Amino acid sequence: MNNKTLTLIKPDDWHLHVRSGAALKSVIGMTAAQMGRAIIMPNLNPPVTNAAQANAYREEILSALPKDSTFTPLMVLYLTDNTTPKDIQEAIDNNVVAAKLYPAGATTNSDSGVTNIAKLYPTLENMQKLGMPLLVHGEVTRNEVDIFDREAVFIDEVLNQVVSDFPELKIVFEHITTKNAVDFVCESSNNIAATITPQHLLNNRNDMLVGGIKPHTYCLPVLKRAEHQTALIDAAISGNAKFFLGTDSAPHAKHDKESACGCAGVFSASHAIELYAQAFDKAGAMDKLEGFASKFGADFYHLPRNTQTITLKKQDWAVPASYPFLDGNIVPFMTTKILGWKLAHTQHGKE
């Protein structure tokens, strides 16, 4: 590294939504230009609940990639009340790398999610036995729980119990947003890790709400107060291998976000690594970016680190106002703002 460029092992995105059909075709090339691999979220409509659906979705993604791409999608099973231990075995036999717990109703396309985790215990037992990681959307959904408290309450009511009942189960606490979650992960065993999004590092709830509602910063779990943002930045730059990159880039058309009932989801696939570089540079921690972006996630999943590299250049550039998406547009996170690092090139190493 010098002051002007930074070369990193090619990063991976350990939490990504790419949708399907025409939406998939609009966005997948962007991630493939930045990331070696990505954990593909299974919250399609209908969701990816068995190995056959995961295989079909993987094939659809591979055929939507640019011709010379070496990008690898990592498939995930969507857990429902009816997922069986046998479904887990079949998924593993078909190279599905993880299973995702959405509490029913927590977020976009989570209606088929789990209503009571106790029903899933035989399935979690098998995941623990077979070493398949559980990916958790960590929010309770009860109406009386304030939206800003839902992650902290989930730790107290659900996660503590699961961790104590399944001490060997590998768990990724996805897109964490609070100091409570950072503390929980730090205090847990090495089986517990977490992903952190660029929006939760670069923004807090003031950025979303002061001076007018900014729908393109609205995602779930929702942005929290500044002290939580600070805890997330400290965790990301700490060099602690339990914290790694997961964008939660979640494409929704501009008109669906700029609406009386706007969808949850921030789109960052187009410039994900530049957004993380912005956050790390601001914290004076560019030397910690490679571990977070390119090493710790692969190590947690027991996958080899990528052999290709990317180079970032210190250069001011403006995030575009929009990109084409379906028959309209999509607005990227930090739209029209100036970022200080730009992806220069991808080295296409031999496979």
CB 249 within 8 A of CB 11: no
**253 binds ligand NCD per the rule CB under 6 A:** no
**248 binds Zn ion per the rule CB under 5 A:** yes
> Minimal distance in Å, beta carbon 220 to ligand NCD?
4
Among ligand NCD, Zn ion, none, what does residue 289 contact (CB within 5–8 Å per kind)? none
**139 binds Zn ion per the rule CB under 5 A:** no
CB 246 within 8 A of CB 177: no
Element (H, E) at 203: none
Question: What is the rounded distance in angstroms from the CA atom of residue 198 to the CA atom of residue 271?
Answer: 10
**108 binds ligand NCD per the rule CB under 6 A:** yes
User: Strands 192-196 and 37-40: what pairing?
Assistant: unpaired
Compute how many residues bind Zn ion; rule: CB under 5 A: 1
Q: Give the CB-nearest residue to Zn ion.
A: 248
248 counts as catalytic: yes
Among Zn ion, ligand NCD, none, what does residue 229 contact (CB within 5–8 Å per kind)? none
Compute how many residues bind ligand NCD; rule: CB under 6 A: 11
Question: What is the rounded distance in angstroms from the CA atom of residue 83 to the CA atom of residue 85?
Answer: 7
**17 binds ligand NCD per the rule CB under 6 A:** yes
Among ligand NCD, Zn ion, none, what does residue 11 contact (CB within 5–8 Å per kind)? none
> Minimal distance in Å, beta carbon 105 to ligand NCD?
11
CB 300 within 8 A of CB 285: no
Spell out the residues 6+ positions from residue 301 whose beta carbon is closer than 8 angstroms to its own: 14, 74, 97, 98, 133
Q: Which of 12, 13, 87, 248 is catalytic?
A: 248
Question: What is the rounded distance in angstroms from the CA atom of residue 307 to the CA atom of residue 181?
Answer: 32
Among Zn ion, ligand NCD, none, what does residue 137 contact (CB within 5–8 Å per kind)? ligand NCD
- Report CA-CA distances (Å) from 14 to 110, 170, 243, 255: 19, 14, 11, 27
**151 binds Zn ion per the rule CB under 5 A:** no
| Longest alpha-carbon distance in the chain | 54
**80 binds ligand NCD per the rule CB under 6 A:** no
Active site residues: 248
Residues near ligand NCD (CB under 6 A): 17, 43, 107-108, 137, 219-220, 248, 250, 264-265
Q: Which residues bind Zn ion (CB under 5 A)?
A: 248
